[in-house]
Structure 1
Amino acid sequence: MDVVEQLKPEDAFEIVRPLEQTSAFVFDSPHSGARYPRDFLASSRLDSSRIRLSEDSFVDEIFATAVLHGSPLLKAHFPRAFLDVNREPYELDPKMFSGRLPSYANVRSLRVAGGLGTIARVVSEADEIYAGPIPVEEAMRRIDTYYKPYHAALRRLLAHTHQRFGCTVLVDCHSMPSAARGELRGRTDIVLGDRYGTSCSRIVVEAAHAILEDLGFSVAVNKPYAGGFITEHYGRPARNFHALQIEVNRGLYMNEKTFEPLPGFDDVRAVFSAFVGRLLRQPLGLPEPFPKPLAAE
């Protein structure tokens, strides 16, 4: 955890770019941020460990080698407990706020009901984040200052990639706890999500599945995670915009109580680098890239 006095807009997220983008793939890690504004922590009833339970810790590091394989990586620096960009912009629970939400807020979604809206009410399914109501103005500030610029940056990356290669494949990178509600997840290491076939070409999903299994992982598709707002919103296969969510079991690479990487973390990262490299080399049946970069680059 990195406690900051103020989270400046320019420090809220980062795009790590390859020297030359040679792939139609774009990677993003929206939940791996660990920069906690001090005033946010002061408003919370949770200690510094409990509030981190919704972090996708180290996911940005696991997929960092995508850049070496010619793909950009967008990663958030703010934590999911502070702001969740894998939601609609205004999925908000009116019971959380002092003041009236705008009329266009989605207050009835299942995610809001579960406490996991754009401004989350809980972490780890049940732990209430806030000691009391927070001002509506604060929610609007987070959305305007951090949420909207993050998605604007992601849209630009996808549009640029689509213009250059004729298609784009967004890999939305996440992690999942090794146990849920006290029950072990069994041997499932990876869950791929394509919104039940609606957000991504089957060819891409099958290729990712086969490569991961060949590397020794147990893999499930859409159960229990089919993909969130990012996968659903940006996946438009008919227009050659594909979006695939990937969830990595945290037990593979980190101590979930201490938030420290396991001794074999570098080995796990190397295996995922191999996965990315092989996936990007697969003949996916998608349009070939233009032979030369566009003049505007």
Structure 2
Amino acid sequence: MTQFDGDQPPPFEIAEPAIWRSPIIFNSPHSGSVYPEQFLAASRIDLASLRRSEDSFMDELIGGLADAGFPVVRVNFPRCYVDVNREPYELDPRMFTGRLPSFANTRSMRVAGGLGTIPRVVGDGQEIYRERLSVDDALGRIELLYKPYHRALRRLIHKAHQTFGTAIIMDCHSMPSAGISHDEPRRPDIVIGDRYDTSCAPLLPNIIEDVMSGLGYSVARNKPYAGGFITEHYGNPASGLHAVQLELNRAVYMNERRRERGPRFRQVATDFTTLADALAAIPLGDLGTFRSAAE
């Protein structure tokens, strides 16, 4: 497997302010665009096709929030190489030579769709690999990339929880402006995912909807995206841990065909700052279960 060396950015980066303004962590797990050469050589499709699965520029849209007192996490490796928004071992046995470990989840809906921890397909179902991969390759990617990322994210969540008594993860993604099915209605500008009212206090999606609607965005909840592994796994409101997934329509801020920033790019970044300010103003006790940092 290709390592991320001194000539490349690290697998992921955390911009952590010296002083946290609030317990809100902004995360961009799918904007990575550093493609290992061995991966490209093993792919049956070209780089442009692989890149269609990226949440292009989402890391840039939220990157300035670190200067405003919010920690920001960005992943640099592509989701089609390792997807950190999955369980650690959602693996499709059809992809590999050799036997997967007994603890691998081979029957999830995401695996069935080709979108496990090591994805089999991108975009509209294009197969990525020419040949089967070795099980050791898959397990190596998980050990070297997936697990260190989640350890770092848990560290931030723990720090927020210890300092403020609560933690909020804003898991930021982007979605294609149109779905694969022609029957799907026009997608809204933003989809808020809270796993159908289970991953966070209701106040958070309510405020997000109010703020973004007030800024002129059309907003929907949980359809077509209710939140992935990160939202489900780290969201536990009863313990003061809140996770919300935000899906931003790519047509709002970029040219999807040319993969270029659009004319509204800077304004959208400013609007994310407005949203962060509004969330930071929430009295923490209003989020429900709250443990004082001094306890």
**TM class, shorter-chain normalised?**
over 0.9
**2:215 corresponds to 1:215:** yes
Alignment of 1:107-256 (within 5 A): 107-181=106-180, 183=182, 185-186=185-186, 188-256=188-256
In the alignment, which residue of structure 2 is the partner of 1:15?
14
**8 A contact 2:83–2:117 mirrored in 1:** yes
The one-letter code of the counterpart of 1:161 is: A
SS in 2 for 1:180: coil
Provide the residue aligned with 2:64 in structure 1: 65
Aligned-partner Cα distance in 2 for 1:18–1:80: 26
1:280 to 2:267 alignment: no
Query: What is the alpha-carbon distance in structure 2 between the residues aligned to residue 210 and residue 134 of structure 1?
Result: 46
Distance verdict in 2 for CA 1:289–1:248, change over 3 Å: farther
Give how far 1:289 is off: 7.6
2:88 & 2:22 partners in 1: Cα distance? 29
Relative distance call for 1:91 and 1:182 in structure 2 (3 A) is same
- Shift of the 288–105 alpha-carbon distance from structure 1 to 2, 3 Å rule, reads closer
Kindly indicate whether the alpha-carbon contact (under 8 Å) linking 2:190 and 2:248 is maintained by their aligned counterparts in 1: yes
What is the CA-CA distance between 1:261 and the residue it aligns to?
A: 0.8
CA distance in 1, matches of 2:292, 2:188: 35
Structure 1 pair 89/34, CA: closer, same or farther in 2 (3 Å)? same
**Aligned 8 A contact 1:66 1:72 in 2:** yes
CA drift of 1:264 comes to: 2.7
Please list the CA deviations of residues 34-71 of structure 1 after superposition, one character each: whole Å capped at 9, or x if unmatched: 00000000000111100111100101111113213311
Q: What is residue 86 of structure 1 aligned with on the other side?
A: 85
Q: Distance in 2 between matches of 1:98 and 1:187?
A: 39
CA contact (8 A) 1:6 1:38 kept: no
Aligned residue for 1:265? 265
Please report how far the alpha carbon of residue 279 of structure 1 lies from its aligned counterpart in structure 2 after TM superposition. Answer: 2.0
Task: Determine what percentage of the aligned residue pairs are the same residue.
Answer: 51
The residue identity in structure 2 corresponding to 1:262 is G
Alignment partners' CA distance in 2, 1:31 and 1:168: 21
Q: Which runs of 5+ in 2 are unaligned?
A: none
Deviations 1:53-90 (A, max 9, x none): 11001011111132133110111000001000000000
Q: Deviation digits for residues 172-220 of structure 1, max 9, x if unmatched? A: 1100000111547525100000111111000111111111111111000
Contact 2:162 2:293 in 1 (8 A): no
TM score, norm. by length of structure 2: 0.93
Alpha-carbon RMSD:
1.8
User: Cα–Cα, structure 1 residues 107 and 8, in superposed 2: closer, same or farther, change >3 Å?
Assistant: farther
Give the structure 1 partner of residue 39 of structure 2.
40
Kindly tell me: are residues 232 and 267 of structure 1, through their superposed partners in 2, closer, same or farther at Cα, counting changes over 3 Å? same
Structure 1 length normalisation: TM-score? 0.92
**Corresponding position of 1:30:** 29
Unaligned runs of 5+ in 1: 292-297
| Displacement of 1:263 | 2.7
Matched positions, count = 287
Q: Which residue of 2 aligns with 1:54?
A: 53
Query: Secondary structure, in 3 states, of the residue corresponding to 2:67?
Result: coil
1:132-158: CA deviation from partner (whole Å, max 9, x where unpaired): 111111100000000000000000000
Offset at 1:275? 1.7
